[in-house]
Chain A
Amino acid sequence: MLRFSGKNLSFYLLLTPLLLTLVLLVILPQLDMLIVSLRERISYGEYTFSLLHYQEFVNEPFYWNTFLRTAVMSIMATLITLLLAFPIAWYIAKIAQGRNKSLIFLACLIPFWVSELVRTYGWMILLRESGVISVFLQWSGLASGPVEMLYNDITVMTGLVYASMLFMVVPLVSTLEGMDDSLVEAAYDLGASTFTVIRTVILPYAMPGVISGCIVVFMLTLGNYLTPTLLGGKDSLWFTEQIFTQFITRFNWEQGAAFGVLLLSLSSLIVWLGLKLSGQSFKKAVAS
């Protein structure tokens, strides 16, 4: 530590930009959103405190159905991503060697570097009625006419899982790489079966990676807008679409803000539950 002249000055100089960012771009806007959601417009420029927009949410089944559907699909997408990503992460961390390993890892990273928009567009070209897969199915005789694979839940789920894959693979790989192979060897040596080794040695070891991966994936999926809109079409019923509709299309900011608060509460709640159940700290799970 350098504790000579001007220590305090430099401290405050460093503190200022952070505080400005946090207060002006995070804390005040979030509070503002909360306040906006709790008011009702009486006439131009006149508002009163009201829970109207939350009542609206409760009374209108369309809204809370969308809300629940978004939550459930996000959780499902997270679990599917975890299941699909774990063997891949294991392969990268433990089986692939040397140059091969970095190549595979790089291939995993590519989709991250490509805009989400481009990736989703790729899926549209593959899956739509005149798309590559439909043509292939007709050509091979598996289908008699064009097959529309867009605009259904399975497609949305595929898109969501695809968009999140990397955010699961990376934390898993970095955790698994830290694991000493001899732990697995020791477990076998002591008579455990493959399944027992996975359950008693590998999974507990990988838990921090699993948790941070799941949290990030869940957050991203819940807040996703592009994939449900483009792959799910008009009836995709995703909650972020509702927020967008209220804010931009209907210009009903109060209702949109209320939805924002609800979505944020939901994601905080589930992240908090995940951390509680696994006994991890927020800082560790997010910063890794």
Chain B
Amino acid sequence: MIPSIPQSQAFRKTYTVYVGLFFLFLLAPLIVVAVFSLNDSLFPSLPWEGFTLDWYLEDTKERRGLFHDRAIVDSIGTSLMIAASVAILSVCVAVSNALLFERHQFRGKSVLYSLMLLPLVIPGVILGISVLSFSSGIANSLEDNYGLDFEFLRPGFLLIVLGQFAFISTMATLVISARLRKFDIELEEAALNLGASHFDVFRTITLPWLKPAIMGSAIVAFLMSFENFNTTLILAGSDSPLTITLFDRMREGSTPVLNAVSTLLMLGSGVLALASLFIQRKK
């Protein structure tokens, strides 16, 4: 209960212990992943054999650290490319969507808005298979009827980007719309009144106002894309992104390299998360 209502000592203690256990539950899996990436052992398990950075840096047959593991390094590259594309594309479309929904009145707006939200409630696997089946359908009919083979309509880079973009752009739209809703339209009128053209107004007033939301949603979009699994799994082609590579390795059995990659991922996400929090705080 709220602090101003008296409660028994026992209740308070139980409550505090519960909250403590909850955070142990929350953080324990992450901590063990990080800790075992530093264990000087061939398996990510107890006992503790001493501290080592081999699983990051070493390059021998027995111990190949993550920076020397071609497949992992390549898939990190693929994931970075995908995430950057998704983030840029999502933010551009989200700004456009936000302007459309916040600044224009038109028939069917409400229906369109609901449709825009739809990708958030379609399970990622289904989004994946529907995009896959649709694009393959097009690719097959093009091939059968015209003999054209469009490789980009087959599972791979473009399909992953499009599949992720379908729901990540909705998330970005919600964030940017919320910021635009708080914008005082008087500022745009004032700028017009001071002689700015419509383009000037957008460039010098509206866009700077949206900047924190744009940066924030770009970071979140990047992370969501980088870490996406369900949609990506269906749409991945031969050069698989990091999550898919890791998943395949995990099914084969765990090695401390997986812990090292995971730890690196956590650090990367942590830095980006802090950056996005910092941006939000600043506004």
Chain A residues within CB distance 8 Å of chain B: 1-2, 4, 6, 11, 13-15, 17-18, 21-22, 25-30, 32-33, 36, 45, 84, 87-88, 91, 94-95, 104, 106-111, 113-119, 121-126, 128, 130-132, 135, 162, 165, 181, 184-185, 188, 194, 197, 215, 219, 222-226, 230, 240, 243-244, 247-248, 253, 256-257, 260, 263-264, 267-268, 271, 282-283, 286-287
30 CB-based A-B contacts, threshold 8 Å: A11-B104, A18-B100, A18-B112, A22-B112, A25-B165, A30-B130, A33-B134, A87-B19, A95-B3, A111-B26, A113-B269, A113-B273, A115-B262, A121-B250, A123-B29, A130-B45, A131-B45, A132-B46, A162-B29, A184-B5, A223-B126, A223-B230, A224-B230, A240-B230, A243-B125, A247-B129, A248-B234, A263-B123, A283-B117, A287-B117
Other A-B contacts than A104-B23, A125-B45, 4 sampled, CB-CB below 8 A, are A125-B36, A226-B247, A253-B133, A286-B117
Closest beta carbon of chain A to B11's beta carbon, Å: 9
CB distance B106 to A122 under 8 Å? no
CA distance A27 to B262 in the complex (A): 36
Restricting to B32-64, which residues have a CB under 8 Å from any CB of A?
32-33, 36, 43-47
From residue A165, how far is it (CB to closest CB) to chain B in Å?
7
From A29, A184, A230, contact of B1 by CB (8 A): A184
B198 in the interface (beta carbon within 8 A): yes
Q: When the two chains form the complex, which single residue of A197, A240, A283 contacts B113, counting CB atoms closer than 8 Å?
A: A283
CA distance A60 to B7 in the complex (A): 56
Q: Are B131 and A29 in contact (CB under 8 A)?
A: yes
B92, B115, B130, B273: most-surrounded residue (chain A CB, <10 A): B130
Query: B139 at interface (Cβ–Cβ under 8 A)?
Result: no
A residues near B30, Cβ cutoff 8 Å? 110-111, 114, 118-119, 122
CA distance A30 to B131 in the complex (A): 8
Distance (whole angstroms) from the CB of B163 to the closest CB of chain A: 8
| Chain B neighbourhood of A30, CB < 8 A | 122, 130
Inter-chain CA distance A271–B277, complex, in Å, is: 31
Bound Cα distance from A267 to B124, whole angstroms: 12
Assess the B133–A33 pair: CB atoms within 8 A: yes
Please report which residues of chain B, range 112-151, place their CB below 8 angstroms from some CB of chain A when the two chains form the complex.
112-127, 129-135, 137, 144
A135-B45, A287-B117 known; A114+B99 contact, CB < 8 A: no
Partner pick for A132 among B45, B97, B230, B250, CB 8 A cutoff: B45
Q: Are B254 and A125 in contact (CB under 8 A)?
A: yes
Across-interface contacts of A87 in B (CB, < 8 A): 15, 18-19
Q: Name the residue of chain A whose CB is nearest to the CB of B220.
A: A113
Chain B residues with CB below 8 A from A131, complex form: 45
A126 engages B32 (CB within 8 Å): yes
Q: Are B103 and A226 in contact (CB under 8 A)?
A: no
Is there contact, CB below 8 Å, between A113 and B33? no
A125-B137 contact in complex given A11-B104, A247-B234, A283-B117, C-beta closer than 8 Å: no
Give CA–CA (A271, B218) in the complex, Å: 29
Q: How far is the CA of A277 from the CA of B138 in the complex (A)?
A: 41
- Closest beta carbon of chain B to A240's beta carbon, Å: 5
Contact B93 A21 (CB under 8 A): yes
B278 within 8 A of partner (CB): no
Q: List A contacts of B243 (CB < 8 A).
A: 115, 117
A113 to B229, CA, bound (A): 14
Chain B, residues 1-12, CB within 8 Å of chain A (1/0): the string is 111110000000
Enumerate chain A residues within 8 angstroms of B262, measured Cβ to Cβ. Answer: 115, 117-118, 121-122
Q: Please give, as numbers and ranges, the residues of chain B lying within 8 Å of A28 by CB-CB distance.
A: 134
- A244 near B125 (CB under 8 angstroms)? yes
